[in-house]
Structure formats: structure tokens, C-alpha cells
Structure 1
Amino acid sequence: MTDNILKCLYVHSGNAGDINCCKGIVKNINSEYKILETNHIRKSVEFIDTINQFSPNIFIATGKNAAPLAQVVKEYNPDIFTVFLKNPNKFNIYYDLIWTPEHDNIQYDNSFSTLTTPHNASIDTNYFSVINLNKKKLGVLIGGKNSHYKFGLSEIKKLCDNLKNLAHKNNLQLIITCSKRTGLNNQIYIQKYFMHTEHWVWRGKGPNPFNQILGHCDYFLVTADSINMISELCITGKPIFIYKLPNFFYRFFGKSKFESFYNKLIDLNIVKWFESEIDDWSYKPIDNTQYVSKKIVEEYTNYVRNN
């Protein structure tokens, strides 16, 4: 993306969404880089030592716990270009560039937004031993509860019943993967439910075959709790069905940012709510990871030129 090798220091909060966001940007910026997790930064003096030894041109942070670190960076060396992914809140004054998701509806003088989030996913069509070549495949991405959605054992049981009926009715093979937020008890229930069937559940051992699921499945069903997972699926151009979950937030506060995100994707004919059936359609894939990465490099170049 640029002829000059940059040096980028990335700091994330440790959750899966922030890690994947950082890794996606890393892949798209031609740079030397170092990645830190906020939990491993015990003292500001240690962080300053890292800055001094690595000498980054660009500092990129994501996650609430990472936001304050730009103040340390700017006090140490105001020439370092600082970037935050998502909302830095009161620490926005220490950032030269801020990316926010459109559904957050947050704007700063130096911010820009995209509909889908940066990510580390890619489409892998290499051999995948678990698939049945004689059947169409439904990739199932299962998240977990959060501040907006309830997702306990009763919801898992209902989801598994719906999946079994859907697969039987449409002659589908299910390829299922869970997230860390799914929870151990829920994952065990899913594994036992589909044991001794033609369907396949990733058991959490070895690398998550997420990219192979993107490459080999014909349809996708994803639980409504994860904007990141849905953003990753949007790169495929294949049908995406969102599985509704009980919504805490809507009950007490009205529509959430999740609803705004889903509605925009529905308007673009990218996703549909799962009712009981599946159907076929296609759309132009959306992947904003490269755009966000390119914007960071462009704004850094302008920053250097003007300072």
C-alpha cells in the first residue's frame, strides 16, 4: 500500500473482535509491526520502553482499555500518528484519526465510518475433509450472550431443534462453529446433540476452520449477537440468515445499534431474518478492511506532509 516500510504499534483489549480487527489491518498495511494486549501492559514506563525500542510511525489502538494509551504516546512523542478503531470517548483528543462503525452513530472532526467492521477473515476453498460433497452446506456461526441478547441453554436447545429440522427438510449438511462467548455448557450440548450425525461441530481443538467454512458453505446462519461475525460473512456474496435471540436491550430501551446495522444490510439485500426456511440470492460482497487500512496510510501520509 506504500513504498516506504512503516512501523506500526498495535494495542488491543484482548477480546476476539478487537484482536481480529487488529490482525485484519496488519495484513493490509505494508509495515513492520508489534502487537500488544492491554492486560500485558502493567506500567506506563514499560509501555514507553516499548515505544522507545520499537520507534513506531503509527500507533493503532482498539478496545476501551487501550484508549488512554494515546495520551502516553503523544506525551512521549507527539510526531507519532495515533489511530483508534471504534469509540475512544473522552480520549478522542489524543487521536489523529478515528474509525467508527456506522451503527454507533458517533462522529468526531477527525473520524470516518463504514457499514461493516474491519476483520481478519478470508475465503479458503482448499480441501476441507469434513464436508459432504453431495450436499449443500449451511455454515452455522453461534455466538453468545452479551449486554443486548439473552443466550442460555433454552435458546441453544431451540436453535439445535430448528437446525435439525431445517437440515432434514432441505437435505443440508450443517457445519457449525462456536465463539468463546457461547460458553462451555452450551458448546457441550451442541456437540452431543449432533453427535453420530453427518453434521460437523468444531470442538475448539486446533485452529478454527472459519475461513474454510466461508469458502465451502452455500448458505450461512449466524446468531444476532455479533456484528463482527456478520461483517465477516458479508465478504462471501452468499445468503446470510440472522437468527433472532431474546433482546434485553429492546425490552428496556427500544431499538439497539444492532437493529440499525441489520436493517441497513436488509435494505442492501445482503441478509434476511431467519424465519423457518432458506432461499438463494446473491449480492456484491462487502469488505471494508482494505478501505480502512488504506485510509490510515493516506491520512498518515498527509500528517507527515503537513507537520
Structure 2
Amino acid sequence: MTASDDTLHIPEGRPLTIWAVSDGRAGMENQVLGLAQAIARKTHAQIVTRHIRYRRLFDRWPTFLKLWPDQMLKRDSDPVGPPYPDIWIAAGRATLPHSLRMKAASQGKTLVVQLQDPRANLSAFDLVVAPQHDQVTGDNVLSILGAPHRITKERLAAEFAPWAERFKDFSGPFVAVLIGGKSKSHDLSRDRAETMAADIRRAVVATKGTLLLTISRRTPEAARDILVSALKDLPGLIYTGGGDNPYFAFLHKCDHILVTEDSINMAVEAAATGKPVHILSMDRRSALKSTRKFDEFHRALQDYGAARPFNGELRTWSYTPLNETARAAEAVLALLKSRATPS
């Protein structure tokens, strides 16, 4: 990865301004905010969230046809205009028309960082932070294992505090089970859900543990019903939506994490805790390229030492918590410093 010869300006007497730009969906927003917050932990910075949303007529248009993106936005979309930030961090298809124009719009004064595979002219960005399994290559590409996220020990402890009283009547080991659902590449059939529930039950009972189960909105209704029915009598907590979400409290308190293979974000967040991550197999919808990418990701996570396929046993092992978000933050700041002069 090499820096370009463009000159940026580091502000004196004020914090760096960082725009975290996405379409507002949780998966995208967590990535841009995760990287922005990691930068802010290393230097004085102010983070501004920006949501880009297009009117229905234009939403599905390919990026190359969005020639006047400002005029295509919904009324509830955040404006994209001067004064521009010191660092622009964006993720998702909706952000690309503006990301591709940001260097020119800011007259080179904004460091443009795009997450994931932009499938666009890489030279339009100062830095592309892409998952290893996407196999994006270029002088301005940083490949990371998984995706940026917002998990830190401090955040997990803070998120657990309001839930602490709920855990007083339970004893460990605590087993967090994170269930995803149907996607382009994976599904959770009735048969698979029944097998999964039986394996989870057997493991929790064998260790005299406590179940901490959270079920996604993407989980098929039949699978959700099977899992809840089969596991509801175990000691612990089950979250199926509605009310405060205990997801971060579960990650803080648990001793083991079981996570379905359909979610890279959940697996990476689990690996950030340093706790054993057990991967739950799902149904494959087809031999899609995206399915192969999931396989590559999970192999890399296993090679790192964070994860293993779940075989019905709650085995214990140790590894250094995965912290690719911090590595990406360091790369952004190093690039900014290498190209900057005080303003």
C-alpha cells in the first residue's frame, strides 16, 4: 500500500472531522462508525454520521448512471456539501456516487476512505479497506480479516451494566448463541433448526451452563419457533426482538460464543472478544460465489485461531482478540500524516 503525492492539511487547534457515511442500515453504519470511533480513540476527532438515501426511482440505478447524485436523494437524506470533512469514511453502494466525487469536490482536502469492495475505479479513493475474502488488490488497498466494527472491552462492559441484575441468578459457563437467518447464500430450514437446537441443548446441559440466545429478524419463523420451543426451559435468557437488545451484554458475559455461519459481522465481533467462537452450520442455498467467500472467511478466522466448527462440544481455547478495526485506523492516520502539512 503506497500513498499518493496529493497534499492534505492537518487542522491545528481543532479536532479532525470525520464523516461516517452509509445508507443507515445497521450493518453498514456499524462498519463506518466502528472505523471512525477507532480513529477517534487514537486522536482528537469529531464524528458526524451521514445517511445517503436515494428516491425510489433512482435507488436501483447503477452507480455510473447517477451523474447528479445530489439531485437524486430523498428529502430525509443528509446533504453532502461543504464544509467537507478531513476524513470521509463510507460503505455501501449508496455512498459510491458521492465517494467517487469527494476528492474533486473537496479539492483534495478530504481523505477518502471506502470500505468493502467498491467495484469501481480504485484510484478515486485514497484508501480502500476491504475484506480479505473479497480479494481486492491495489496500492491503496488494505485487506483485513472481516470488517470494521464497534466492539471494545469498554463498550461491552458499559452495555452490560444495565443487564447485570438479570444475570445474578445464573451461573456459568455462559453460552451466547447468535442466530442469523435467510440470505442470498444461506438458509435455516426446519430440519437444520431441529438439529441445531438439539446440539446446543446437549452442549449447555453437559456443562451445566446458562443459555444466552439471540435470534435475528432474518431468522425464518419456523426455525425461530423450533429453537425457542426446544431451548426455552434451559436456564438463561432468550431474545427474539422487541425491547432492549442484550446482544452486547451477552458478548460481555459469555464464556463461549456460538454463531451461525451466515454473518461475517457477528463472527468478527465475536472474535473481537477473545472468547472461543464456535461456528454453526446452515443450509446452503446454492454454489454462489458469495457462499465460497464465506468459506474463505471462515477458513481465515480458523487459521487465526479464533473459531472452530461447532461439533456439539463446548471446547475452550485462547487467542489474541481480533482487532482489525484498530489496524485499519492506524493505516488511515498513517496515510493522513504521510500526505499532510499543517493548515
TM-score range (shorter-chain normalised) is 0.7 to 0.9
C-alpha distance in 2 between matches for 1:110 and 1:158: 45
Are 2:103 and 1:74 equivalent residues in the alignment?
Answer: yes
In the aligned structure 2, how far is the partner of 1:230 from the partner of 1:259? 13
- How do residues 1-307 of structure 1 correspond to structure 2 at under 5 angstroms? 4-30=14-40, 31-39=45-53, 44-45=70-71, 50-79=79-108, 80-123=110-153, 124-125=156-157, 126=161, 128-131=164-167, 132-183=169-220, 186-250=223-287, 256-305=292-341
Give the TM-score of the pair, scaled to structure 2.
Answer: 0.79
Q: CA deviation at 1:98?
A: 0.6
Q: Which amino acid aligns with 1:263?
A: R
- Do the aligned partners of 1:173 and 1:199 also contact (CA within 8 Å) in 2? yes
Q: What secondary structure is seen at the aligned counterpart in 1 of 2:107? A: coil
> How far apart are the structure 2 equivalents of 1:72 and 1:105?
24
Root mean square deviation of aligned Cα: 2.9
Matches of 2:274 and 2:322, distance apart in 1 = 8
- Do 1:249 and 1:256's aligned partners in 2 also have CA atoms closer than 8 Å? no
SS in 2 for 1:14: coil
Bigger CA drift: 174-183 or 193-202?
Answer: 193-202
Displacement after TM superposition at 1:282 (Å): 1.0
Q: Could you give the per-residue CA deviations for residues 267-306 of structure 1, whole angstroms, max 9, x where no partner exists?
A: 2332110112221111111111122122112212323349
Mapped partners of 2:220, 2:232: distance in 1: 18
Displacement of 1:216: 1.0
Q: Identify if the C-alpha distance between structure 1 residues 20 and 180 changes in structure 2 by more than 3 Å, giving closer, same or farther.
A: farther
Instruction: Tell me, in whole angstroms, the C-alpha distance in 2 between the residues paired with 1:128 and 1:302.
Output: 45
CA contact (8 A) 2:54 2:72 kept: no
After superposition, give the CA deviation of every residue in 1:167-206 in whole Å (9 maximum; x if it has no partner). Answer: 2222121101123322555445544443454231113233
TM-score, L = length of structure 1: 0.87
The 8 Å contact of residues 99 and 111 in structure 1, kept in 2 or not, is answered as yes
Give unmatched runs, 5+ long, in structure 1: none
| Rounded Cα–Cα distance in structure 2 between residues aligned with 1:212 and 1:256 | 32
Structure 2: how far apart are the matches of 1:150 and 1:46? 35
Q: Name the CA shift for 1:238/1:181 in 2 (closer, same or farther; >3 Å).
A: same
Q: Distance in 2 between matches of 1:232 and 1:254?
A: 20
State the alpha-carbon separation in 1 of the partners of residues 97 and 342 from structure 2: 25
Give secondary structure in 2 for the equivalent of 1:212: helix
For 1:34 and 1:122, locate their aligned partners in 2 and report how far apart those are by CA, in whole Å: 20
Checking the alignment, whether the CA contact within 8 Å between 2:171 and 2:210 is kept in structure 1 is: no
Number of residue equivalences: 305
d(CA) in 1 for partners of 2:183 and 2:290? 16
Q: Could you tell me how far 1:14 is from its partner in structure 2?
A: 3.3
Structure 2: any 5+ residue segments left out of the alignment? 1-10, 59-68
Residue 17 of structure 1: SS of its match in structure 2? helix
Q: Distance in 2 between matches of 1:151 and 1:215?
A: 27
Contact 1:116 1:287 in 2 (8 A): no
SS of alignment partner, residue 49 of structure 2:
strand
